[in-house]
A and B are shown apart, each in its own frame.
Chain A
Amino acid sequence: MSDPIENSTPEQMVNDPSSQLFASLADFYRENGLFPEAIAICQAGLESQPDNLEGRLVMAKCLLANNQFAKARAEAVKILSVHSENLEAKKILAQADSAGPEVPPPASAPSRNEAAAIPETKPAEEPGHAVVPALAETAVPVPTAIPEPQARKIPSSPLPLMAGRPESLSDQTPRIADKPAEIQPAAPAPPAVPAKPPSPAAEESAEWQAGFGKIMNDLVQTPQVKACMLVDEAGYAVADAVSRTGQSLSEDTAALSANIFKTAHEALRKIKLGELERVVIETGDEKIFLRQAGRMVLVISADSSAKVGLVMVNSKRAAEQANNLAQKDPAR
Chain B
Amino acid sequence: MKEILNQINEISGVKGSLVVDKEGLVVVSNLMSGLEERTISAMVAGIYQEIIKALKPAEGTELSGVQLTASEGSIIFLCAPECILTVITEPGANIGLVSIKMKASLERLMKIL
Contact = CB atoms under 8 A, between A and B. Distances in A.
Interface residues of B, number: 32
B23 interface: no
Interface stretch (A107-115, A238-246, A266-274): A266-274
B55 to A, nearest CB: 6
A283 B68 contact: no
Interface stretch (B3-11, B38-46, B104-112): B38-46
Contacts of B65: 281-282
The DSSP consensus for interface residues of chain A is: mixed
Contacts, number: 87
A283 B54 contact: no
B73 interface: yes
A225 to B, nearest CB: 17
B88 A273 contact: yes
Contacts of B61: 283-286
The DSSP consensus for interface residues of chain B is: mixed
A257 B56 CA distance: 12
A177 to B, nearest CB: 35
A279 B66 contact: yes
Given A271-B39, A282-B63, 8 more contacts: A257-B54, A259-B50, A272-B34, A272-B72, A275-B71, A281-B51, A282-B65, A285-B58
22 contacts: A253-B54, A256-B54, A260-B51, A263-B47, A263-B50, A267-B47, A271-B36, A273-B73, A273-B74, A273-B88, A274-B70, A274-B71, A277-B70, A278-B68, A281-B55, A281-B65, A282-B63, A282-B64, A283-B62, A284-B60, A285-B61, A286-B58
The 3 closest A-B pairs by CB, nearest first: A274-B72, A274-B71, A256-B54
Interface of B: 34-36, 39-40, 43, 46-47, 50-51, 53-55, 57-58, 60-75, 88
